[in-house]
A and B are shown apart, each in its own frame.
Chain A
Amino acid sequence: MENMGLLFALCGAALSAAMAGIGSAIGVGIAGRAASGVVTEDPNQFSKVLVLQLLPGTQGIYGLLIAFITLTQIGIMGGDSNVSLQEGLLYLVSCLPMAFGGLFSAVAQGKCSVSAIGLVAKKPDQFGKAMIFPAMVETYAILSLLISILSIFGVSGLGL
């Protein structure tokens, strides 16, 4: 029972990596399908649609980032892994914004990327604008990331 804190904290890390990763996988996946379609018609657009396909991929990385910070803070990556139950739960909650924000924003961004890829297919010179629309969605993943980071650092600062 004394390791429950560690368990909860680890749950948080796992959730943020897994859920944001799932979201990114879905997002990059649907964007990739649209991108392949464009490349069959016009192989010259490869580099542009590749960039657009990659845009929903960042959530997975943010999720990984939060998981990693959590793992370092709770000492799983080496060091003293003494986490109280209270602290563990706090870490779990800190990870949740990234987990949910990452999952849903990545899926939405993927759909947005699909449309942007369609835009580039029709008007390759409008690439700059096409890139901005999916990037708008990412804002919310970034906000989630921010809150998760601040919370994790905050929790470790509490010294519970």
Chain B
Amino acid sequence: MSKVPMKQIFICGLKKDRKQILELLQMEGIVEIRDFDPEDEYFKTMDVMSQKAQFDKNSNVAEQALSVLEKYAPEEKTLLSSFEDVKDMARSEYDRYIVHVDTYIDMAASILRLEKQIQDAEDRITSIENRQAELGPWISFDLPMDFRCTELTEAFIGTVPFAADQEDLGSKLSESSEGDAELPVAVSVISSSKEMSCIFLVCLKKDVETIKERLKDINFSMPKSSTQSCIPSEEIKQLDKQKQKLRAEIQSCKEKIAAYSSAREDLKLCSDYFTMRAEKYTVLDGLPQSESTFFINGYVPAHCADVLCQRITGLYDVYIDIEEPGEDEDVPVLLTNGTLSEPIETVVESYSLPGRNEIDPSKITSIFYYIFFGMMLSDAGYGILLSLSTAYVLLKVKNIKPGMKKMMKLFFYGGISTIFWGLAFGSFFGNAVNVIATTFFNRPDIKLRPLWFEPMSEPMRFLVFAFGCGIVHLFTGLGIKFYQCVKQGDLMGAFCDSVLWFMFAGGGIVYLLTMPMVTNMLGLKLSLGSTVATVAAVVTIAGCIGVVLTGGRESRNWFKRILKGAYAAYGITGYLSDILSYSRLLALGLATGVIAQVFNQMGSMLGATWYGALIFIAIFLIGHILNIGINVLGAYVHTNRLQFVEFFGKFYDGGGKRFEPFTEKTKYFKVKEDK
């Protein structure tokens, strides 16, 4: 239960070993490297951002190629594979593959080229289809679209934006003007619809200008481009052929890409390789270097320090200095805990990691965490399901992601606690046992008896129990505050911020319990004598006075100090609301049970018939799955809240920085030293 002690490490090595030492550190992955500026004329940092950009680009190319590959030849995945961590790869194997990295990157580039080709072909198909749609209305026309004139006549081929009638249009265009004879014009309407009519018009060459005028009046327009000199139906056929050719091209490209699927692992390795190099260059960028030496400053977990030191000094000519980090150093935090408390690290971390002088609260938090989680979910059936499913994932997926593993373990232990509380409160899929026995076997006497009591029939009892849990939880927090203060040698703080509050709040609670009104309301059969009442009152008042006097002790001015102290004493209302907040244990616990009962009852409405049984099974499955989902989420969120707000509020500030070692931040493989 603790933070891993850290040592500060300084490595000074020769520039010729730089690459190897960095690679060694990266593979070990136990040193967090900090940038630092020695402010020295000999040591300069080096700008390697352009190389880094190149590596990033290469790793991007490989990633894109992988996603293209995924599109045309999807990798087979099982449901469980999303839990899996990156694969291990032996160093020797890695070295064997990595010499081919250039071929891999070429491969990635050719995959991307093929993808580009496919896209181009698809674009062309779209434009061909547009052209075909344009030609559609002209399909019965038997002249090429670019037909313009004969020796004596001029032809117009185009559209007008209305439904045209052949005779109307003909007479309109051939109408005589200023007493001349009618113009000889032949109009034929090829096709006509409400929005557009396709017309073909022939006139004498001498009349061209007049006709053009008249055509303009009726918004005649020529089709945009007609490059091919063949009749429309023929052109459509030709376009069809082109389309087929393009489709075949796309198909062959797709096949070519799919043929690369055997190289998927190589591409992954390639992507990882460049990510790793980029990572290395990021570190290199901040390293101070002189003409022939370089300097690394960082943190290493104390238990690894000596082994690491021996390894490096055994291989290279370096100077290594390992020392305790100074008081003011911002030491990174790494937590380590036993199997039961380990999952809670994620919870602690999502609040904040412990700060410099704080202890790791994971262990103490874990005890309350599982208890509260179980009380909120409080159904043995749900607990069994939750534990079994998480245990299945944990056993089945060998190579599970570390974060996922903690999460699964959290729910596994939470599930076990849920089974316990479910049995205590007599809830197994709600009242399923009783409902099934009553509906289908006519035995209303069979039911799961609670080992302790039934919350539905004695809610007040549960409420008092919840408050009791809350008081224990809060005072544990206060106790940790005391421990932390003593550990730091702040005895005054320990007394003022912890002991006085213990007296004030604890005495107050005991005093309340001596009042018959309170015990009656809470349904407690408890009669504390008047001596207890007097003692409790004295302790409370002493605590209260103490808090008023010391609450503002950082102020020098006495008047200010008392005012601040009075305000601090007002914080006792915070204790009240904190304790009341634990009523959510009751509310969420009851919610699970009641909703489960609703579904059981709904399912049993059709009685003991065969279709009644079917409906029961269906509603039972859907309803309980829904209820588990909602209530696991609720129990998780509200257990977190009780820890974060009520518990951590008493003693914990956090603010620690996470230990982030220089390591292989790869997506697919983890290179390991040969065994």
- Chain A interface residues (CB < 8 Å from chain B): 51, 54-55, 57-58, 61-62, 64-65, 68-69, 77, 127-129, 131-132, 135-136, 138-139, 142-143, 145-146, 149-150, 153
Number of A-B residue pairs at CB separation under 8 A: 72
Question: Assuming the A-B contacts A129-B351, A132-B641, are A68 and B460 also in contact, with contact meaning beta carbons closer than 8 angstroms in the complex?
Answer: no
8 A-B residue pairs with Cβ-Cβ distance under 8 Å, sorted by A, are A54-B630, A132-B644, A138-B637, A145-B587, A146-B463, A146-B583, A146-B587, A150-B460
| 8 Å CB contact of A65 from B349, B350, B583, B594 | B594
Minimum CB–CB distance for A38 against chain B, Å? 19
Minimum CB–CB distance for B512 against chain A, Å? 19
The answer to whether B463 touches A128, judged by C-beta atoms less than 8 angstroms apart, is: no
What CA separation (Å) do A51 and B347 show in the bound complex?
16
| 8 Å CB contact of A54 from B460, B587, B633 | B633
Question: Assuming the A-B contacts A129-B350, A132-B641, are A139 and B581 also in contact, with contact meaning beta carbons closer than 8 angstroms in the complex?
Answer: yes
Question: Assuming the A-B contacts A64-B595, A128-B350, A150-B463, are A143 and B583 also in contact, with contact meaning beta carbons closer than 8 angstroms in the complex?
Answer: yes
For A129, what are the chain B residues with a Cβ–Cβ distance below 8 Å?
A: 350-351
**Quick check: is B184 within 8 A (CB to CB) of the other chain?**
no
**Quick check: is B584 within 8 A (CB to CB) of the other chain?**
yes
**Quick check: is B588 within 8 A (CB to CB) of the other chain?**
yes
Minimum CB–CB distance for A97 against chain B, Å? 12
Minimum CB–CB distance for B82 against chain A, Å? 10
What CA separation (Å) do A55 and B598 show in the bound complex?
21
What CA separation (Å) do A149 and B459 show in the bound complex?
8
Residue of B nearest to A130 (CB): B350
The answer to whether B640 touches A146, judged by C-beta atoms less than 8 angstroms apart, is: no
The answer to whether A149 touches B587, judged by C-beta atoms less than 8 angstroms apart, is: yes
Which 5 residue pairs spanning A and B have beta carbons closest together?
Answer: A128-B350, A142-B587, A142-B584, A65-B594, A135-B637
What CA separation (Å) do A138 and B642 show in the bound complex?
13
| 8 Å CB contact of B586 from A57, A61, A146 | A146
**Quick check: is B356 within 8 A (CB to CB) of the other chain?**
no
Minimum CB–CB distance for A67 against chain B, Å? 9
Minimum CB–CB distance for B351 against chain A, Å? 7
In residues 456-490 of chain B, which contact A (Cβ within 8 Å)?
459-460, 463
For B349, what are the chain A residues with a Cβ–Cβ distance below 8 Å?
A: 128
- Which of the listed residues A54, A68, A149 has the most CB atoms from chain B within 10 Å of its own CB? A149
- Chain B interface residues (CB < 8 Å from chain A): 346-347, 349-351, 459-460, 463, 580-581, 583-584, 586-588, 590-591, 594-595, 597-598, 601, 630, 633-634, 637-638, 640-641, 644-645
What CA separation (Å) do A121 and B337 show in the bound complex?
31
The answer to whether B587 touches A64, judged by C-beta atoms less than 8 angstroms apart, is: no
For A149, what are the chain B residues with a Cβ–Cβ distance below 8 Å?
A: 459, 586-587, 590
Question: Assuming the A-B contacts A142-B583, A149-B459, A150-B459, are A62 and B591 also in contact, with contact meaning beta carbons closer than 8 angstroms in the complex?
Answer: yes
For B463, what are the chain A residues with a Cβ–Cβ distance below 8 Å?
A: 146, 150
The answer to whether B640 touches A131, judged by C-beta atoms less than 8 angstroms apart, is: yes
- Which of the listed residues A143, A146, A150 has the most CB atoms from chain B within 10 Å of its own CB? A146
Question: Assuming the A-B contacts A54-B633, A132-B644, A135-B638, are A65 and B459 also in contact, with contact meaning beta carbons closer than 8 angstroms in the complex?
Answer: no
What CA separation (Å) do A142 and B638 show in the bound complex?
11
The answer to whether A51 touches B633, judged by C-beta atoms less than 8 angstroms apart, is: yes
What CA separation (Å) do A127 and B640 show in the bound complex?
12
Residue of B nearest to A147 (CB): B583
For B580, what are the chain A residues with a Cβ–Cβ distance below 8 Å?
A: 143
What CA separation (Å) do A64 and B601 show in the bound complex?
14
For B588, what are the chain A residues with a Cβ–Cβ distance below 8 Å?
A: 142
What CA separation (Å) do A65 and B504 show in the bound complex?
38
What CA separation (Å) do A64 and B579 show in the bound complex?
26
The answer to whether A128 touches B637, judged by C-beta atoms less than 8 angstroms apart, is: no
For B350, what are the chain A residues with a Cβ–Cβ distance below 8 Å?
A: 127-129
Question: Assuming the A-B contacts A132-B644, A135-B641, are A64 and B583 also in contact, with contact meaning beta carbons closer than 8 angstroms in the complex?
Answer: no
Residue of A nearest to B641 (CB): A135
Residue of A nearest to B640 (CB): A132
What CA separation (Å) do A17 and B349 show in the bound complex?
38
The answer to whether A58 touches B630, judged by C-beta atoms less than 8 angstroms apart, is: yes
| 8 Å CB contact of A69 from B594, B601, B633, B637 | B594
Residue of B nearest to A54 (CB): B633
The answer to whether B591 touches A145, judged by C-beta atoms less than 8 angstroms apart, is: yes
The answer to whether A139 touches B595, judged by C-beta atoms less than 8 angstroms apart, is: no
Minimum CB–CB distance for B601 against chain A, Å? 7
What CA separation (Å) do A131 and B637 show in the bound complex?
7
| 8 Å CB contact of B347 from A64, A128, A135 | A128
The answer to whether B351 touches A128, judged by C-beta atoms less than 8 angstroms apart, is: yes
The answer to whether B590 touches A65, judged by C-beta atoms less than 8 angstroms apart, is: yes
Residue of B nearest to A69 (CB): B594
What CA separation (Å) do A153 and B463 show in the bound complex?
13
Residue of A nearest to B638 (CB): A135
Minimum CB–CB distance for A96 against chain B, Å? 17
- Which of the listed residues B346, B349, B591, B640 has the most CB atoms from chain A within 10 Å of its own CB? B591
The answer to whether A153 touches B630, judged by C-beta atoms less than 8 angstroms apart, is: no
What CA separation (Å) do A158 and B459 show in the bound complex?
15
What CA separation (Å) do A61 and B591 show in the bound complex?
8
The answer to whether A153 touches B637, judged by C-beta atoms less than 8 angstroms apart, is: no
For B347, what are the chain A residues with a Cβ–Cβ distance below 8 Å?
A: 128
Minimum CB–CB distance for B270 against chain A, Å? 22
For A139, what are the chain B residues with a Cβ–Cβ distance below 8 Å?
A: 581, 584, 641
